[in-house]
Chains A and B, each alone.
Chain A
Amino acid sequence: MKIVAVTACPTGIAHTYMAAEQLEKTARKLGHSIKVETQGAMGIENKLTESEINGAAVAIMAVDIAIEEPERFDRIRKIKVPVQAAMKNPEAIFAQI
């Protein structure tokens, strides 16, 4: 399955990236293809394009703060979780897909 995701935590130093890594690792393990956009202290990295979002089945939003350009995700099914959930038990998020 094609999945997109966004991670964003308040400080944007550590957990944004840890959550991204956790989602990427778990997706690989479960045989999904995933692209994770991080919105941390360095701004938007690995930015998701319109076509990547449109081509995905679901968007995992592991965010604790309001993200930049949220309108890009208006037309896609979203699973919204706290950043902590992505770190603690990423499998549980994928189970909701």
Chain B
Amino acid sequence: MPLDFSFSCPLPNGVHARPASALEEVARTFTADVVLLNQRTGRSANAKSILSIVGADIRFSDPCLLKVSGLDEERAIAALGAFIRNTLPRQETELPTFTASEGELELPRCLEKSGAVFRRGTAVVPGIAQGQIVRAGGFNVPDGLPMDDVVDTLAEQRRVNDALDELIAWYGRRASAAGKGIESDLLVAHRSLARDEEFRACLLDAIAARHRTAAGAIADAEARFTKVFSDSENPLLHERVLDIQDVCAQLLQRVYGNETATRSLTLTEDSIVVADSLTPCQFLFLDCRLLKGLVLAEAGTTSHTVILARSFGVPTLVGVENIEGLAEKAQAVVDADIGVLVTNLTDTARRYYTMEHQRLDGRQAVLRNFGGKLATTRDGHAIEIAANIATFEEADRAFTAGAEGIGLFRTEMLFLDRASAPDEAEQHEIYNRVIEAANGRQVIIRTMDVGGDKALSYLNLAAEQNPFLGYRAVRIYPQFESLFRIQVRALVRASAHGPLRIMIPMISRLEEIRWAKKIIAEEQALCIAESKPFDKKMQIGAMIEVPSAAFALEEFCREVDFFSIGSNDLLQYFMAVDRADSRIASLYNPLQPAFLRLLKQIVDAARANKKWIGLCGEMGGQIRYLPLLAGLGLNEISVSAPAIAGLKAELSRLDLPDCQQLFAAALKCATADEVGVLLDKFSAQHSLPLLAPEMVVINADATTKEEAIKRGVDLLYIHGRTEQPRAVEEAIWKREANYSTGFGHGFAIPHCKSSAVNANSVVVLKFAEPVPWNSLDDKPVRVVILMVIHESDSATEHMKIISALARQVTHESFRESIEKEQNPERLCAFLKSKIGC
């Protein structure tokens, strides 16, 4: 007596490959036949075949009927029913999505007239790479292989059967060899396709019924299932076309041997691999030492190949047009910073990319200098500079950038944009990866700050009028206790693998921290009961972002081990200002004396009780505020990775007593403006000097005005004086559009005010060969004095020096001295003596 079970599809993205393969895993353990009927379309599927399930095109809320008949039907229906109720809803998968770049392509000035050919694409893995073009991809049967008229169909079927079994076993071996991760997940997914009942039946049937050869049968299966996937209205399934092609290509190779492996490319030199689409396996078989860049015409906007390319750090463009016209073996550049594939590399284009490499390498060299060192003030006081991250992938990058720990891992990303919360295993795995990347350094993981503006569909929280003051973070934990417990358990277990500290967000009252500690203690007790290892000394801390906590810090000190100040929210709550509202954004100013006094009260209380205290808001990432924060007495500042090296460099120029004095003086100020003036004065004396020997280049090399300006701005980037060189360059060109800054007599003074400037700077470039400049006297330029000032600066010391410098350029004797001097240190000293700094 057949049994059935009806349900409606709970998956927002429909039944795509991952849920289908999970269902197949359950169904195949029973001997009974399992048929899945999509009542909307009337299509029925064999539930023991992923391809068949996928072909039923089941979408969100489609009414479905599962029919089971056979010897073990009762056990089967019970297991399948439980699976559909409990596990299926959690089989949602999220692939990263990329949005295509819009608007006009803006090339850097140096490339505009270069004569090179640009093909626009969407950059999905950043970076710049050069190499020769190598074409790849797609599934096709090599010419000359017979497709039809098999005589001995049984022998042909046996060949395919054996090859398929061999392939399935091979996938299994490779998957276990690959360990955990994307590569192994992928191989397992391919194995499921290879052992699919429908797939095998389709192959064998083509041979028996139509006398196709193995090659013909594989080509038919490829065409048929590719169509199933690409016809689906589910975009997630379009991606799987690549997987089908991969399995078919592998099978073809197994049947006919390596001579058919035309698609597995052997790279011989630095290469840019170009393909309509590239399967993940094809990617994995490329020699990653020679694979410099990847260009895909298709690949939709999400794909496993892109995920792989990202994990290998291969600069990648997708959606590139007209790749048919690309010549094999031609030199090309993948510029995934701008989002173009560059061919027909003219001298100008080559020079530009040589300069780009010098810029990036130059920055790396400077970063290595500071990133590798522990952050200390000039007089030797350590302040940890740690990183804020939101995904585990960022951890490696943060440590490469010089992070001394993770000061804030925001875990809410794990919970957002999905149908259900991540389970303990998934969370444990992710926390572990961060701890592994930290390699013994401290990691602070903040429990989820969800609710409020970060709504989760599966929590069904009502929308609120004022989400920032509402039901979020620690406030929702008691209602969703099991969700919190799962996270705590994953964290407690992860603590066995390295130094891990838990931080609770949005603490406003003592009761909240006591409650969280109770849950943590209970989960630790459970771990003891289950003999699971964990760190018994794992520290528990509170994020200080609600002002009330600042006034109860003595009591908090008795409950927690550490604090981290979330300065963004703390300032918003303290000043009662929504910083997104431009009309009142000026109130959101961390230099408010009242706010500085609040910070002092917090830090003093923590230190008096010997508690470690850090700061993890945006305030910490701004070099301008560093002297104040150093003077405040923090143990740690946690910032986004790109800011780390710059902060370390700045800190190494500061003396702690100076910073303490500055902070004390700031506390006595009446207004934020007064603090600002104080800070500017301090910065002018202590921060990066306006003029420095490393900002002077003798024998600089440029053939055009565009290149000369780029050289100057690149130097600013290399030495951490800007993070956005192209924005600075554009600001200079905008000024240049008024009229040329070529003063005459071989001197030019390009300049700008820009918010992209981190440190007011003067660059002096003396060119070996004069550069055309459309100067006032129409003569080429031998000396460029490039001056950049931060947008907000007006009456500062630096402005006075720059104006004095500009006046000096009009004097012949001044110009002569500069032309004569060939030593950067002496030239710098001369300039300083002339303009009084």
Q: Which residues of A contact B (CB under 8 A)?
A: 9-11, 13-18, 20-22, 25, 38, 40-43, 64, 82, 84, 87-88
Contacts and interface: CB of A to CB of B under 8 A. Distances in A.
Contacts of B743: 18, 87
Interface in B790-831: 793-795, 799-800, 802-804, 806-807, 809-811
Interface in B741-789: 741, 743-744, 749, 751-753, 776-777, 787, 789
A18 B739 contact: no
B810 A43 contact: no
Given A13-B802, A25-B810, A87-B743, 5 more contacts: A13-B803, A14-B803, A40-B803, A41-B789, A42-B803
A13 B738 contact: no
B362 to A, nearest CB: 26
A64 B738 contact: yes
A94 B794 CA distance: 31
B744 A88 contact: yes
A42 B789 CA distance: 12
A63 B735 CA distance: 16
7 contacts: A13-B752, A14-B806, A21-B811, A25-B811, A42-B795, A87-B743, A87-B776
B660 to A, nearest CB: 31
Given A42-B794, A87-B776, A11 B807 contact: no
Nearest to A22: B810
A14 B751 contact: yes
Given A20-B807, A41-B799, A42-B800, A84 B776 contact: yes
B738 A10 contact: yes
A18 B809 contact: yes
A21 B789 contact: no
Contacts of B803: 13-14, 16-17, 38, 40, 42
Nearest to A9: B738
A36 B257 CA distance: 87
B806 A43 contact: no
A41 B752 CA distance: 11
B799 A13 contact: yes
A11 B751 contact: yes
Interface of B: 735, 738-739, 741, 743-744, 749, 751-753, 776-777, 787, 789, 793-795, 799-800, 802-804, 806-807, 809-811
Contacts of A10: 735, 738
B776 A13 contact: no
A41 B735 contact: no
B752 A11 contact: yes
Contacts of B735: 10-11
B590 to A, nearest CB: 25
Contact of A21 (B741, B800, B810): B810
B787 A13 contact: yes
A19 to B, nearest CB: 9
A21 B749 CA distance: 15
A13 B795 contact: no
Contacts of A17: 803-804, 806-807
B753 A41 contact: yes
Residue among A10, A14, A21 with max Cβ neighbours from chain B (10 Å): A14
B795 A14 contact: no
A18 B810 CA distance: 6
Contacts of B807: 17-18, 20-21
Given A42-B794, A42-B795, A42-B803, A14 B749 contact: yes
B794 A41 contact: yes
B806 A18 contact: yes
Contacts of A11: 735, 738, 751-753
Contacts of A14: 741, 749, 751, 787, 802-803, 806
A13 B753 contact: yes
Nearest to A84: B739
A20 B803 CA distance: 10
B627 to A, nearest CB: 24
Contacts of A18: 743, 749, 806-807, 809-810
B709 to A, nearest CB: 15
Nearest to B804: A17
A11 B751 CA distance: 9
B751 A13 contact: yes
B751 to A, nearest CB: 5
A40 B803 CA distance: 9
A15 B799 CA distance: 13
A42 B796 CA distance: 8
A38 B795 CA distance: 13
B804 to A, nearest CB: 8
B524 to A, nearest CB: 60
A20 B809 CA distance: 12
Contacts of B804: 17
A13 B794 contact: no
Residue among A9, A40, A41, A88 with max Cβ neighbours from chain B (10 Å): A41
